[in-house]
A and B are shown apart, each in its own frame.
Chain A
Amino acid sequence: MKARWTLVAALGGAAAVYAALGASDPVAPAPVVSEHRTVVVREAAPPAAMFAAGPGAIAGTPTDRGAAPATPEPEPPTAEQAAAADVAMSVVDAAIGAGRWTDDDNVRLATQMHQLHVEDRDSVMQVWATAVNEQRLKIEAPPAF
């Protein structure tokens, strides 16, 4: 009989503790969650292939943000393009020799620039820009090429 009352008392205490905890920290029923995920799978090139292609093969790295996206290897310059590159470079060299860049230089260079091979354009502009930044070429007419 005594054991029965002890069991009843224990059950009652447990119920009181459960009620107290439930009142102070209610546990909400778990909502039904429906989740949709889109998984994008990117195929990574094998490391060996990336290194074999060289660092330039990785487009979009911080070093090439200034250039346009990688394009196929350009054709080598034609004879006409090579001749135009010589003329363009001579225009820039003459201006640097004179120490000033004029409207006439703009016209002469613009005529050639549109015929140049892409690599020659870069070379001509680099020589021109280097002279300007080294204060060897006074700009009398803003560049228009």
Chain B
Amino acid sequence: MKKSSVVGLVLLGSIFAGTALAGVRESRRVTVNITARRAEGSIGSTRNSSQATEYIQCTMSGDANYNSLVCLAVDPDGRTATCYLTNPSPYFLNTLNTLQGDSMLAFLWEYPSNKCTGMIVSNGSRWEPKVLAPASGAVVF
């Protein structure tokens, strides 16, 4: 058997071995669907993206009298989506409290008020974790 054939078989074997050992891994970049009024993306995949404009986040702010929730997503093509709530209900606060650094986050809104109508937070092994090294071209905060 030629040496190149042996090398090829070894490489092929290592590929199959790697596939067999891996669990479900999902990379979900930010998608913005204005028509469906839904935006989503996994935080890890988005952070690791080479697109410096892409991100997804939800922000809570407040004082003694009021608090507000603003979610914002920008997809790789620069499409932007947002929704907001002033004094959000416990339904939203409880969901937001489960958000972690490598969660998948989705939010929905209604038209024409653009108020948030739903929020999905998913935590699990399938979602791509953030890597420590910044992606090339990405802005480091």
Contact = CB atoms under 8 A, between A and B. Distances in A.
Contact of A138 (B68, B80, B91): B80
Nearest to B116: A66
Interface string B70-93: 101010000111111111110110
A121 B57 contact: no
B72 A142 contact: yes
A141 to B, nearest CB: 11
Contacts of B113: 126
B86 A129 contact: no
Contacts of B86: 118, 121-122, 125
A126 B68 CA distance: 12
Interface stretch (B5-13, B15-23, B59-67, B121-129): B59-67
A126 B114 contact: yes
Q: Is chain A's binding surface mostly helix, strand, loop or mixed?
A: mixed
Chain A interface residue bracket vs B: 20 to 34
Interface residues of B, number: 32
A132 interface: yes
Interface in A94-134: 113-114, 118, 121-122, 125-126, 128-130, 132-133
Contacts of B66: 114, 118, 121
A145 interface: yes
Interface centre among B55, B59, B80 (most CB of A within 10 A): B80
Nearest to A116: B66
A67 B112 contact: no
B135 interface: no
Contacts of A135: 79-80
Contacts of B65: 114
B139 to A, nearest CB: 12
Interface of B: 34, 55, 57, 59, 61, 63, 65-66, 68, 70, 72, 74, 79-89, 91-92, 109, 112-117
Shortest 9 CB-CB distances between A and B: which pairs? A129-B114, A68-B87, A132-B82, A125-B84, A143-B70, A129-B82, A121-B86, A129-B84, A68-B89
